[in-house]
């Protein structure tokens, strides 16, 4: 019996060694994960849920709820090739549900990236069509989180709920839900880095994104709460979807040493 346990212990130790060796090998040829932090702003000021803001046209709006999916991240290398952030079919890894009311959801990591120099980042605001139609999911993609249309099944890519005195809907509600459907894929965003970002085994970076909600109203399309108080299907929300992809900009990128990444700084 004792001999058997020794054998089991030895096997466990061997497995650990292999695992550690594997990690070491990976780190040697690859770099660190990239951290992304998102701040919701209106112009230059932080968004406050419940506060009133004004559009260029003079419409007044406030936000009570802001949630959306970001997925399918990839980074462009200086040589034009791409690093595609891995996503697995049996978990929600790589699918991030950002919620203004949940601070933890606004900071996440992608990668680890291979060491190298990167010039830009691309992602979807929403969920790709394949995963959207892949059946019951878990984690951030758990439909029980409520970011899911049950009347025409699929994820709600982007959800903005608030109020506007100009809204013609009951209680001046403003309800914009963007979702997928035939011919309504998730919108893609590409952001060029102002200067190349270096990722190595010792140094990573934090990408600080600003999502400017003013651009939800004054974006590629000018949206008025009076004429569009609700958008609850793929056709009606097409313009909101376009604008949701225009919210994002890189505020700044800063170097993040390995120790800082590990400590969550």
Interface with another protein (CB under 8 A), residue from 18, 134, 222, 265:
134
What does the CA dihedral 223, 229, 232, 233 come to, rounded to 10 degrees? Answer: -50
Nearest distance in Å: CB 235, another protein: 4
Closer residue to another protein, CB minimum distance, 139 or 196: 139
Between the alpha carbon of residue 196 and those of residues 77, 115, 162, the distances in Å are: 9, 13, 38
Nearest distance in Å: CB 16, another protein: 23
Q: Phi/psi of residue 91, each to 5°?
A: -150, 175
Instruction: Kindly state whether residue 143 participates in binding another protein, applying the rule CB under 8 A.
Output: yes
Residue with tokens 């506007």: 164
Instruction: Kindly state whether residue 164 participates in binding another protein, applying the rule CB under 8 A.
Output: no
Nearest distance in Å: CB 95, another protein: 14
Interface with another protein (CB under 8 A), residue from 145, 221, 224, 258:
145
Instruction: Kindly state whether residue 130 participates in binding another protein, applying the rule CB under 8 A.
Output: no
x/- letters, 231..250, toward another protein (CB under 8 A): --xxx---------------
CA-closest candidate to residue 30, choices 196, 202, 215: 202
Cβ-Cβ contacts under 8 Å for 63 (sequence gap 6 or more): 47, 49, 50, 100, 160, 161, 162, 213
Interaction site with another protein (CB under 8 A): 133-138, 142-146, 148, 150-154, 181-182, 233-235
């Amino acid at each position: 019996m004792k001999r058997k346990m020794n054998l089991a212990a030895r096997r466990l130790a061997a497995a650990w060694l292999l695992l550690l060796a594997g990690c070491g090998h990976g780190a040697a040829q690859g770099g660190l994960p990239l951290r992304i932090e998102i701040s919701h702003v209106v112009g230059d000021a932080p968004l406050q849920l419940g506060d009133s803001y004004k559009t260029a046209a003079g419409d007044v709006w406030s936000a009570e709820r802001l949630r959306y999916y970001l997925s399918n991240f990839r980074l462009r290398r200086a040589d034009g090739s791409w690093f595609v952030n891995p996503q697995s079919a049996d978990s929600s890894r790589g699918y991030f549900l950002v919620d203004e009311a949940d601070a933890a959801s606004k900071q996440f990591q992608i990668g680890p990236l291979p060491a190298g120099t990167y010039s830009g980042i691309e992602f979807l605001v929403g969920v790709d069509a394949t995963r959207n139609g892949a059946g019951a999911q878990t984690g951030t993609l758990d439909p029980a989180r409520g970011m899911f249309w049950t009347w025409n099944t699929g994820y709600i890519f982007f959800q903005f709920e608030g109020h506007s005195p100009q809204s013609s809907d009951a209680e001046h509600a403003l309800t914009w839900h963007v979702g997928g459907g035939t011919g309504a894929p998730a919108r893609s965003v590409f952001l060029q880095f102002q200067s190349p970002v270096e990722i190595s085994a010792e140094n990573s970076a934090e990408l600080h994104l600003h999502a400017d909600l003013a651009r939800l109203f004054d974006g590629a399309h000018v949206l008025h709460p009076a004429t569009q108080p609700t958008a609850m299907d793929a056709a009606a929300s097409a313009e909101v979807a376009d604008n949701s992809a225009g919210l994002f900009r890189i505020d700044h990128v800063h170097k993040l040493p390995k120790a800082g990444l590990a400590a969550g700084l």
